[in-house]
Structure 1
Amino acid sequence: MNAEGQSLPTSRPRRRALLQAAMAVPAAGAVAVAGGGTPAEAASRTAASRAAASRTASGRFDAESPRFALAVLPDTQYLFDADSSDPEPLRATFRYLVSERGKANIAFMTHLGDVTEHGTSDEIELAADTFGTIHGKVPYSVLAGNHDIKSSTDDQRGDSAYLSSFGPDRYASMPTFGGASPDGYNTFHILRAADREWLVLALDWRISEAGLRWAQRVLDTHPTLPAILTTHDLAWADDEGQAQLSTHGQRLWDGIIRGNDQIFLALGGHYWPPGRTVLTNDADNDVHVHITNYQDRYYGGAGMIRLYGFDLARKTIDVETFSPWFLDRGPEKRTLLEAETVELTGAADRFSLDVDFERRFAGFAPVVPPRPRPAAAVMPRGTVAYWRFDASGTAASGKDGTPVGSGTVVRDLSGHGNDLTASRLHSSAPEVLTWSAEHHRGQPAHASLRFDGGKQPDRGAVLTTADHAPLNSEKFTSGYTIETFIKLPEPFEGDHAWMGILSWEGRSGDAGKTTGWSPDEPTCSLNLSPERFLQFVVYPHKQDADPTSWSHAVPVGRWMHIAMVNDGRRTVMYVDGSKIARNPAQPSTGIATLGKPFAIGGTQFNEAFGQGFYGWIGDTRIVNRPLKPRDFMALSD
């Protein structure tokens, strides 16, 4: 459907008919870029101020967090329509963005054009005044739609009421503003979020060849920045939300998008219903193309916005669509149509995109992986044992995929003499324990051990301390932190229920413990349940108890950092730096060790190993005091 209520054919898009009332604007000379100069010079002028992009009036935007939001505001033209204008819905949207900026970590807002219905001075001035609600509090961009200017012209049209109010001068004070094309109708913006810079291109409704050359120069000047292209007329969608490029969108695709791998997301308004598609660019990478427009909905869309929630940790963009104006009203006060419009949950309005940002951006901004860290850099005060499986941990470390020989010694780099010795279980083949170059991205050593343990028959390998190693009898009454890195294979084949990851040998019954599942289980172990829940069970030195921590179902095919932290009173498990829910509240002081070896790769029952671990184990460290998550071995992604 188009803006005039005419149905669009499903076979091809049709440009919206021009309103007779659209304002005719005489041509004029090119408008000067705010601040003057080339895109490179404009970017240089704003480089210092970008560092302050997170220090806005709200004062709470976190530019370093891996999670941030981009707010997208489509056609607002029916809210600025001559004497039937009502800017209040848009003011409510802007108030929401300002008030929620810290909580939702909103980095930027971009308007997709058709700010007004006729582009008259009165409509433009009212819209510009309404934007004052957000100005200086959340950075933003605006671009011209066909209702804001003389729609038969391109960005070389010269002066207009729109340009006077929404031209480059409007953004000059914003730390995100990078510059404008000489005509003033195209702008670029650089925002800092998720500890990196992102480029937003805001392009005119009908960009000229000169405008395309300008946009290419902007991209060439910022070749490592992931880019989001915004424009008014990009794509249209059928009733199922399947989008395809419009005629002008095809021109943008051929002229700027497909050849620039930086552009991974392209957003447009103009048509309805909303929809999306994924296209493949010349670098064989995905480009997400979305149409967002709700002017056909109740109250002209009621200032409805989309939030694109970028989550670089989860490699996801979560999208939601709602009207803050209606959201601000209690459910009992909403009319039927308000209730229908407050939030849209259809497949075209609420969805998630899987984006491996590092891989997607590797062609133009490859991430340099962290270098291995020396052992001395990751042994805080109180380290009683630290093992790693590279050359610094053992002179015998072999090539990736080669067996670790039985009898191989892995040194305790803390210097306390808790060296580990490798052995096979149940006459297992050499292949059950091999050297591996795989490692967690944030792991100090870039190496691990690959265990191929399992049941039926029991097989595996373990690494254990010597009979009289100091760690065997350490009681940890002042607390402890036990850390390791693990990865489960994908696919996770076979029966590996209750396999052990690390443990102390011995029987809890021999330590005088009467609680728990069995007196034959060891006094401390980290295991994996049949549901892939991590289980950390400990028999404290002081209490006759067995407080047990249970994680969620952990993933396969992905490295994890696991930490068990005890402060001398209670134990908390962390997975990837996040505290799990099922941590026991009962007191737990120390570990009832029995002077028997510590083991990596298995858990005993009745002083005998059954199956061994199945997966990878990386650096493992034990500290005799509680550590904060910021002090864990793992560097954040």
Structure 2
Amino acid sequence: MDIARRTLLQAAIGTPAAMTSAAHLAAPASSAAARPDADSPRFTIAVLPDTQYLIDEGGSDEEPVRETLRYLARKRHEENVVFLTHLGDVTEHGTEREMRVADTVFATATLPYSVLAGNHDIASNSTDQRGDSPYLRTFGPHRFRRMATYGGSSPDGYNSFHVIPAGGRRWLLLALDWRLSERGFGWAQQVLDRHRDLPTILTTHDLVWADERGQADLSTYGRALWDRLIRRNDQVFLTLNGHYWPPGRTTLTNDRGNPVHLHVTNYQDRYYGGAGMIRLYSFDLARGVIDVETFSPWLSAADRSPLGAQNRELSGDVDRFTVAVDFAARFPAPAPAPRPAREVLVKGTVAYWRFDREGFPAADGPVPDGAVARDLSGNGNDLTAQRVHGSAPELLAWSGEHHQAQPGHASLRFDGGQGPDRCAVLRTAATAPLNRMKFESGYTIETFIKLPEPFEGEHAFMGILSWEGRSGDAGKTSGWSDDEPTCSLNVSGERFLQFVVYPVPVDSDPTSWSHAVPTGRWTHVAVVNDGRRTTMYVDGSKIARNAAEDSRGISTLGKPFALGGTQFAERYGQGFYGWIGDTRIVARALRPDQFLTAPSR
């Protein structure tokens, strides 16, 4: 979290904590309707370590823990907090009296959570087969059964798991007892076996400890957990434990050669027994990182003492840091099934082409000249493959590669470049209706592209799609050159997308420019015109450099539409280099939630 955001956070939690019990209970209710966004690529898991010095019948103050739970209730929607996990040592002695206090404290929680036993909550010389205890009667399976995330508990009741919907997928959180028995290890492995496709966070009380520099290492019991469970199960990417102080972290390599991040967090040795200190693990799947921060909502809201000021927010290397995790590579989300063309033929669809068997003679190897990509809109705008200037067969080939959200699971691979013999295109017939359409009421042009990695050779201003003909022949002479076509989507030498169009009523060439398109991954491009202005979207996001000029329609000349190239002086000389997937043209402006990337409804 940057300093500006942290300042806002301090202000948000600066509300005085001296409120009545009724107000405490009312606050979460007002936020109950603000459910987390399970589809957002950004979400937060809160971590609450050892609270034993705050729930101690010998003399303590549970108010900091209550304030932490109130804070999470207030910020649940804003921070997209999807879950809270406690790391054990809820209480100091594990007595009936302390557990009654813990019971009332956690009864105020408004989000799903897990709790596990630490050595102060139960008899420390026992395993999960210890039988009945005040802890089990308080935090046994009955406590979690009404939570939507709860997946089940071991027969003894001391181990549990939750399945958390977040980031557009599901995550497994495994909460394990202070000491696993043989039965406990077997149960945990069964849970992991049943959820092989879920990225997993393992929580327990004792796993790693850290030196004063924050460098963590496996404890004696932690070594057994690592060898018998964690290293063998590649889905475990993060472990969290308390018990030891100071906090620290390390990264170990599992049996599949992948990193596992092991973190110990515990602040009971600090001012006010840790003051209800929490960790926020903020997942950002778009950036491939987890941003971690540590602070005490209670100290920020209620304690103005010098020690409170020193401890309300921690910023050391083991308290505030970022962990890089390539979630897409390690845990690829299940690919959605292909969507039939009928599902994406929205009102006003003029043409829709795709390169799987529904719309194209898909086959490995080069695409022969004369191969036809059918216009699945039924409007007769079929595209025919053609190599120009005697270009080689390998310049155009069918591919099974595709954007994950693309309806059709195929594409065409172009290997074009500069020169008269490095171009292949797909063109409409001379009589296709699309050739003559002017789209004065608006339009949406969409396509999927992927640039190779490495991006080799000279490919400046290669064409993705265009209408043939000279702009000068349409009476447009104010643009860069009378020889450029009336409408084209291209890639510049800096890999910027360029959409240039000559509108119908005026002699101008309003042009939109994107940022540099990445190589080695698929990009969705949409150009939307509402009859007045043109807006380009890249991966659903509006770009900055959209043309400010009025733009109505496209000054087409009745000549073919082409995919894979842009003419200059009515000649192709710069073929596309990369992949092109599904392409759709609609005779009206669409919203981003209506693009081809939108999920089925």
Taking a change above 3 Å as real, the CA distance of residues 555 and 327 of structure 1, as seen in their structure-2 partners, is farther
For 2:149, the aligned partner's letter is T
Deviation at 1:323, TM superposition (A): 1.8
Equivalent of 2:81, from 99, 103, 106?
106
Partner of 1:342: 313
The alignment status of 1:555 with 2:527, answered yes or no, reads: no
Q: Does the alignment pair 1:325 with 2:328?
A: no
Q: Distance in 1 between matches of 2:176 and 2:198?
A: 17
Alignment of 1:165-184 (within 5 A): 165-184=138-157
- Distance, in Å, in 1 between the alignment partners of 2:349 and 2:305 is 60
Which letter maps to 2:297? W
Question: 1:473 corresponds to which residue?
Answer: 436
Q: What is the aligned partner in structure 2 of residue 227 from structure 1?
A: 200
The residue that corresponds to 1:607 in the other structure is 570
- Does the C-alpha gap of structure 1 residues 412 and 173 become closer, same or farther in structure 2, counting only changes over 3 Å? closer
Q: 1: distance between equivalents of 2:397 and 2:567?
A: 22
Q: How does 1:44-83 map to 2 (within 5 A)?
A: 57-80=32-55
Match of 2:324 among 353, 360, 364: 353
User: Structure 1's 558 and 220: CA in aligned 2 closer, same or farther, altered over 3 A?
Assistant: closer
Contact 1:78 1:116 in 2 (8 A): yes
Which deviations, in whole Å up to 9, do the C-alpha atoms of 1:574-606 show, x marking residues without a partner?
222333333334432211222222221122334
Distance 1:429 1:608 in 2: 18
Normalised by the size of structure 2, how large is the TM-score?
0.84
Contact between 2:423 and 2:572, CA under 8 Å: does it hold in 1? no
State the Cα distance separating 1:487 from its structure 2 match: 0.6
Match of 1:463 among 407, 420, 426: 426
Residue 249 (structure 2) pairs with residue 276 (structure 1): yes
Task: Summarize deviations over 1:323-365 as a string: whole Å, max 9, x none.
Answer: 252795699x8968636752536366321332335x5457xxx
Tell me, what secondary structure is at the counterpart of 2:489?
strand
3-state secondary structure, aligned to 1:630: helix
After superposition, give the CA deviation of every residue in 1:542-580 in whole Å (9 maximum; x if it has no partner).
344433333232221111221112222222222223333
Question: What are the within-5 Å matches in structure 2 for residues 490-509 of structure 1?
Answer: 490-509=453-472
Correspondence for 2:356: 390
Match for residue 9 of structure 2? none
Task: Say if 2:407 is the partner of 1:444.
Answer: yes
Counterpart position of 1:51:
none
Alignment of 1:130-141 (within 5 A): 130-134=105-109, 137-141=110-114
For residue 469 of structure 1, what is the amino acid of its counterpart?
A
SS in structure 1 of the partner of residue 575 of structure 2: coil
Q: Equivalent residues in 2 for 1:395-406 (5 A)? A: 395=361, 397-399=362-364, 402-406=365-369
Per the TM alignment, residue 433 of structure 1 is displaced from its structure 2 partner at its CA by 1.8
Q: Specify every segment of 5 or more residues in structure 1 that has no aligned partner in the other structure, as ranges.
A: 1-54
- In the superposition, relative to structure 1, how do residues 482 and 181 fare at CA in structure 2: closer, same or farther (>3 Å)? same
Taking only aligned residues, the RMSD between alpha carbons, in angstroms, comes to 3.3
Aligned pair partner of 2:544 in 560, 581, 587 = 581
Alignment of structure 1 residues 252-331 onto 2, 5 Å = 252-283=225-256, 285-312=258-285, 314=286, 316-323=288-295, 325=297
SS of the counterpart of 2:127? coil
Cα deviation per residue 1:520-542 (whole Å; 9 max; x = unaligned)? 43222212233322222222223
Counterpart position of 1:489: 452
Match of 1:30 in 2: none
Residue by residue, what CA displacement relative to the aligned partner does 1:486-525 show, whole Å, maximum 9, x if unpaired? 1110111222222221112233344334544444432222
Determine if contact 1:304/1:321 at 8 Å carries over to the other structure: no
1:93 to 68, 72, 75: 68
Alignment counterpart, residue 381 of structure 1, candidates 340, 344, 347: 347
| 1:252-305 per-position Cα deviation (integer Å, ceiling 9, x unaligned) | 123333344443432212223433344444455543322223344555444332
Distance 2:121 2:298 in 1: 26
Change (3 A) 1:620 1:278: same
User: Paired residue for 2:509?
Assistant: 546
What is the deviation of 1:165?
3.3
Letter of the 1:438 counterpart: E
Q: Partner amino acid for 2:343?
A: A
1:435 aligns with 2:407: no
State, as a whole percentage, how many aligned pairs show the same letter: 64
Contact kept, 8 Å, 1:480 with 1:567, in 2: the verdict is yes
Q: How does 1:562-573 map to 2 (within 5 A)?
A: 562-573=525-536
Offset, 1:208: 2.5
Task: Provide, for residues 181-214 of structure 1, a one-character-per-residue CA deviation record: whole Å limited to 9, x for no partner.
Answer: 3443322333333454433221122223333233
Give how far 1:233 is off: 0.7
Distance of 1:209 and 1:521 partners within structure 2: 75
Residue 418 of structure 1: aligned partner = 381
Change (3 A) 1:203 1:439: same
C-alpha spacing 1:466/1:189, structure 2 compared with 1 (3 Å): closer
* Among 176, 197, 203, the residue aligned to 1:203: 176
Matched letter for residue 352 of structure 1:
V
Which letter does structure 2 place at the counterpart of 1:318?
Answer: I
Q: d(CA) in 2 for partners of 1:78 and 1:585?
A: 62
